[in-house]
Amino acid sequence: MFNFHKDHKNLVNTALSGFVFLSIIVAVLPAYQLQDVEPLPKQPELTEEALKGLNVFISEGCVACHTQQVRNIEMDKIWGARPSIPSDYYYSKQRLDVWRQSPSLLGSERTGPDLTNIGKRQPGQQWHLLHLYNPRSVVSVSIMPAYPWLFEEKDTISIREDDIIVPVGPNFYNKAGKKIVAKEEALQLVAYLQSLKQPEIQGEIPIDFIPAAKKKREKGNAEQASNSLPDGQQLYMQTCSACHQENGQGLVGAFPPLAGSAVVQDENPELLIKIILQGYDARSEYAQMPPFADQLTDAEIAAIANHERSSWGNDAPPISEEEVKKIRAFVTQLN
């Protein structure tokens, strides 16, 4: 029918038709469908600092290894409460220019952990700064490259009041009279990472990722119903181990050890529970710990505290959910 070797006009027209058809399927139709996407009711807008941090995230190539997408499979369940939907990526101020709505953030390699909920999983600013300066300082087996150009060395006497000092341990930085200070780009990137919190859907029914996961969850609910508290070790690994480490030894100069800690082993658990609820700021010695009152229930806090009080050689009496509830009520009244 077509002799493309001799009829070049038909060759060009056929190639053009194929190009237009594929462009419509691949680009035009998806873009048209995106016009119906709206932000979720509880989805906050990116701040100006976080928006600048998004640009740093793209320019530094973070998207090459990290994703921001929870898939509908069991292995992704740890990254968020539900699979991602298009509205999770809708920000009215995120548009790059007239022609580009937003940068691609989904990623593909999944070399590093998913960042969908990193703002909830790791809310502390100083942890992120340490992780950017040298990932091995907080995660010993990390393969992530360091980003030292986002920081600068300063003499102690030249540090300004508004400078953010990164509490790098002596194993990773040990120059007398000098400190590591975060540059503006580092603070912007951290602000963006802290903003990554998967919004809740009002009245949403929990989604079962796959039947095996549903069965596992039902089994866990049954076990939890039979016990007074959830699994403290699992909660510790999800919430605390990134800073205090799996062995409870912490990191020198950054995060205090829990093994052998007088606070953890105190017969009166009030101070320990207050620290978990309110966070802790020991600027002269350790990095700041964020509060977890809004992230953990009374039962979860009791379970984590009991794990800390009975592990790594610690031997302190267990804490009940009711004790945490009373201390939370007291702290709430003071605030």
Q: Are residues 56 and 106 in the same domain?
A: yes
* 276 in Cβ contact with 236 (< 8 Å): no
CATH code for the domain in which residue 155 is found? 1.10.760.10
Considering 3-12, 217-226, 304-313, the range whose residues carry the highest mean pLDDT is 304-313
Residue 13 belongs to a domain? no
Q: Same domain, yes or no, for 137 and 248?
A: no
Q: Is the residue at 18 inside a domain?
A: no
The DSSP line for 61-87 is: TGGGT------SSGGGGGG-SS---GG
Residue 204 domain-assigned (yes or no): no
Select the more confidently predicted residue: 190 or 45: 190
Q: What distance in Å separates the CA atoms of residue 330 and residue 335, rounded to the nearest whole number?
A: 9
Query: Do 75 and 67 contact (CB within 8 A), yes or no?
Result: no
pLDDT tier at 225, thresholds 50, 70, 90: very low
Q: Say if residue 64 is in the same domain as residue 180.
A: yes
Both 96 and 169 in one domain: the answer is yes
Summarize pLDDT for 256-271 with one digit per residue, the tens. Answer: 888 888 888 888 988 9
Separation of alpha carbons 80 and 67, rounded Å: 12
Domain boundary residue, one of 194, 216, 237: 194
- Whether 212 is in a domain gets the answer no
What are the residue ranges of helices labelled H in the chain?
8-23, 29-34, 48-59, 118-121, 125-133, 184-194, 211-226, 232-239, 241-244, 262-265, 270-278, 298-309, 321-334
Residue 29 lies inside a defined structural domain of this protein: no
Assigned domain for 55 exists: yes
H helix or E strand, kind and range, residue 129: helix 125-133
Average pLDDT, the chain: 81
Same domain, 325 and 265: yes
97 token code pair: 């220019």
Q: Are residues 56 and 189 in the same domain?
A: yes
Q: Are residues 146 and 238 in the same domain?
A: no
Q: Is the CB of residue 167 less than 8 Å from the CB of residue 180?
A: no
Backbone angles phi, psi at 286, to 5 degrees: -135, 170
234 and 183 in a common domain: no
Give the domain extent around 115.
48-194
Provide the domain count of the chain: 2
Please give the pLDDT value at position 109.
72
Task: Kindly state whether residues 190 and 52 are assigned to the same domain.
Answer: yes
Task: Supply the pLDDT for residue 137.
Answer: 83
Sign of CA dihedral 147, 150, 153, 157: negative
pLDDT digits (tens, 9 = 90+) for 120-160: 888 888 889 999 999 988 887 888 999 999 999 999 888 88
Are residue 179 and residue 96 in the same domain, yes or no? yes
8 Å CB contact between 130 and 254: yes
Same domain, 187 and 245: no
149, 173, 194 - which closes a domain? 194
Whether 151 and 237 map to the same domain: the answer is no
Asked if the structure places residue 318 within a domain, the reply is: yes
